[in-house]
Structure 1
Amino acid sequence: MSYYDIDAILTDSQKLPCTFELDVPGLGILEGNAGENIKAGTRIDLPLWLGEMLSIGARLGTSRLVTLDLPSALSERVMNALKADPRTVDLRSLAPHFYSLSERILELFEEEELVEVLSNTFKKRSAVIADHAHNPQGALGQGADFLRGLDETERQRMFHRCVCVANY
């Protein structure tokens, strides 16, 4: 991943629910209250990069400033839908960079079940993407809704497969 990778920048800007563990004077601007204090227990959605930086104290052995929670794109409701049938979930509406966000979240949380669900989702959806790449007529009919719900990783895979098929 490059420093200038736009997909990485967009992934890091995804909002992540964070709960402040300590009172923080003068940081109320994050809540929209300039000059105010943030009280312990306050929950604010922060960009992934900022939430990660503010939670880093726990890794260093000091008390952490914030506790990170799973984003809504990886909520229990979404995981249950992915377990049932990953082909019916519109990943793009959850997060345009769903797989990149998931990868970053898995660096922060130890969630074995999440790894299994996401791996299974990627495999099942990849088969459908490959089918659409080899049969573009299906994409115009009932497959159009599925294709609109692809996240950026899947769109790149789809484009790559279409180019490969065209060159074959």
Structure 2
Amino acid sequence: MAYYNPDSILTDAQKAPLTFELAVPQLTPLNAGSAVEVGTKLDLPLWLAEMLAVSKPAGPQSSSLASLDMPSALGQRVTNALRADPKSVDLRAQAQWFYGLGERMLELFEEEETVEVLTDTFKKRALEIADKAQNTRTVQQGDGSSDFMSSLDESERQRKVYDCDVSDQCD
């Protein structure tokens, strides 16, 4: 995470599923006042879930405190939908910083299949965004592209490719 980068901070604030492998009664505030027992599943901010997943308790036990799972935004259902047609998936509904979440999770998990799907998704959606930027007249006439534009994740929105007119110089 880039320390002063707001996008990194907001990406790390997205929820990630965590399953506790040890009872931790002191963490009741994380579980709405209930005790955290073995097998308790919580959706916590990614930064906290990652810290708890890599933490090892003191003593002879070698197991970790908790195990981090892949968020549903990067689960098999979404991956299959992205494989079928990346432009039809509402990435913003999955996770506001979808690609950032994917990048962070892939730092923690070695999922080659997910890497390929996210790369292919990014390329195909970038082509669609570029096409809409070049054909602004059809976008303005309402060809259904507003659904696609509202499905863009934050990194796609910030590129501002879709805001450029053909005559503009876009970065």
Match of 1:43 among 41, 44, 62: 41
Give the C-alpha shift of residue 161 in structure 1.
7.0
Contact 2:12 2:45 in 1 (8 A): yes
Q: Contact 1:18–1:69 at 8 Å: present in 2 too?
A: yes
Corresponding residue of 1:30:
30
Structure (1 or 2) with the greater helix fraction: 1
CA 73–165 in structure 1, closer or farther in 2 if over 3 Å, else same: farther
User: Aligned partners of 2:165 and 2:52: how far apart in 1?
Assistant: 43
Cα deviations by residue, 1:45-98 (Å, 9 ceiling, x for unpaired): 11000010011136xx94211100111111111001000000000101111100
Alignment of 1:73-84 (within 5 A): 73-84=73-84
Q: Structure 1's 62 and 96: CA in aligned 2 closer, same or farther, altered over 3 A?
A: same
Q: Deviations over 1:133-154 (max 9, x none)?
A: 1121232312111011001111
Listed as ranges, the gaps of 5+ residues in structure 1 are none
- Mark the CA change 1:21 to 1:164 in structure 2 (over 3 Å): closer, same or farther: farther
Determine the structure 2 residue equivalent to 1:123: 123
For the 8 Å contact 1:130–1:158, the answer to whether it is kept is: no
2:67 aligned counterpart, secondary structure: strand
SS in 1 for 2:11: helix
Distance 2:70 2:119 in 1: 18
SS of corresponding position for 2:25: coil
Structure 2: segments with no counterpart, 5+ residues: none
CA contact (8 A) 2:21 2:67 kept: yes
TM-score, scaled to structure 1: 0.90
Cα drift, residue 159 of structure 1: 3.9
Aligned CA-pair RMSD: 2.1
